[in-house]
Homo-oligomer: A and B are copies of this chain.
């Protein structure tokens, strides 16, 4: 068995967390490939190391004094090392590396991106030294040496396929490998960071490259919940999810991690496990390609999000007009507006758009173009909509889910503005008014998770 374990920012925020991480690694000899984030916040008012590094880079660029910020960064690692009883030589190495990035002339075009990656890089050094101090055979492995080759896009690097062959060779490496997350190197050796969810991406790439049996993603929650815990108190935990379900849940309000970060692992069909660094005995949530025991007709999760609007267009005899839908969507494409869904009736069509894609100033332009170019009878915009998604593979193959979910809305006296079922095989989507979201979700949770109704 080969496992890749990734530890997020809160899991490596200070020495005591690093001790927990070390214990988790040592408790399972299959955990050979370790990916780390940069140290996160130790308290609500704390600053993440990566944010300090960004500040450092910006001040340096503006020719402002950088000593204070640099001292804060070094101090974070110095305190860790002291509390872990490690040699100060590691801090000297971290300091030299940061100075190297800060004053290297050849990095001047891409300095900020390289600096941003120093939190992960430094933490990987600390963790490997700590594991060594405990008698483990542990090695810090730079992403360059690991074989993570990426495109030349600072802050948005994409892994190149040729990486995987190189990474596969890591399987022959002895002992535990500690690899900093969040970055890779271009073919000509330039450091590039990944987009959002960067350390998760590194973990997924390594898992795919070494053909891991499991990719463990350690966070600060016990598992993925079946509903937003801000809406329902102590909601049920999900023990198993499929990739497809995860993808649909992530769409509307599930923020355990960026689901797109996991694409490399998904493509290689490697199971992903979400676990809690503070509670590693808990089983967590498994995310798999296919469910071992397919369950039909079950809702596995309820996702919800606010911040949508609906653009409604009606035109008599619309459905006789070949190309009307296409022309309407073309106007949105022209204006750079990404839409979510476009359900249509006989003589009308609604386009669901995220609010931030459709600011008030664009509204005027779009409405005017629709009126003039498409000669419609009516075009209106309804703001303040929320979307709720019921997710579960095979859910759509039973008639119970439709009737029970609509009953749940009726129970909560919530009017359904929109239902979109059948376009996805994994989910049903409901549109309602934003201010009714909480009671609707609570009612759905009650019906599908508390009553344990067999559907």
Contacts and interface: CB of A to CB of B under 8 A. Distances in A.
Interface of A: 244, 247-248, 251, 260, 263, 310, 314, 316-317, 319-320, 322-323, 325-326, 329-330, 332-333, 336-350, 396-400, 402-403, 405-407, 409-410, 413-429, 431
Nearest to A347: B247
A409 B419 contact: no
B425 A398 contact: no
B343 A423 contact: yes
B260 A423 contact: no
Nearest to A325: B329
Contacts of A316: 247, 263
A376 B63 CA distance: 50
Contacts of A344: 340-343, 420, 423
Contacts of A345: 248, 341, 420, 423-424, 426-427, 429
A346 B399 contact: no
Given A345-B429, A403-B410, A413-B399, A322 B326 contact: no
Contacts of A428: 419
Nearest to A382: B422
A330 B336 contact: no
A42 to B, nearest CB: 35
B402 A319 contact: no
A204 to B, nearest CB: 14
B427 A415 contact: no
A180 to B, nearest CB: 27
A32 to B, nearest CB: 29
A55 to B, nearest CB: 31
Contacts of A409: 399, 402-403
Contact of A343 (B338, B341, B347, B399): B341
A421 B425 contact: no
Contact of A422 (B319, B343, B396): B343
A350 B422 contact: yes
Contacts of A416: 396, 399, 402, 421-422
Given A420-B420, A423-B345, A333 B322 contact: yes
A420 B343 contact: yes
Given A322-B337, A346-B424, 5 more contacts: A247-B346, A325-B342, A343-B422, A348-B425, A349-B423
A426 B348 CA distance: 10
A325 B343 contact: no
A260 B317 contact: yes
A418 B428 CA distance: 9
A439 to B, nearest CB: 12
Nearest to A416: B402
A332 to B, nearest CB: 8
B410 A251 contact: no
A322 B336 contact: yes
B407 A417 contact: no
Nearest to A417: B422
B343 A343 contact: yes
Given A260-B317, A326-B329, A399 B418 contact: no
A325 B420 CA distance: 16
Contacts of A326: 326, 329-330, 332-333
A50 to B, nearest CB: 25
Contacts of A402: 406, 409-410, 416, 419
A427 B260 CA distance: 37
Interface centre among A248, A346, A424 (most CB of B within 10 A): A346
Nearest to A244: B347
Contact of A419 (B325, B333, B400, B419): B419
A343 B420 CA distance: 7
A422 B423 CA distance: 15
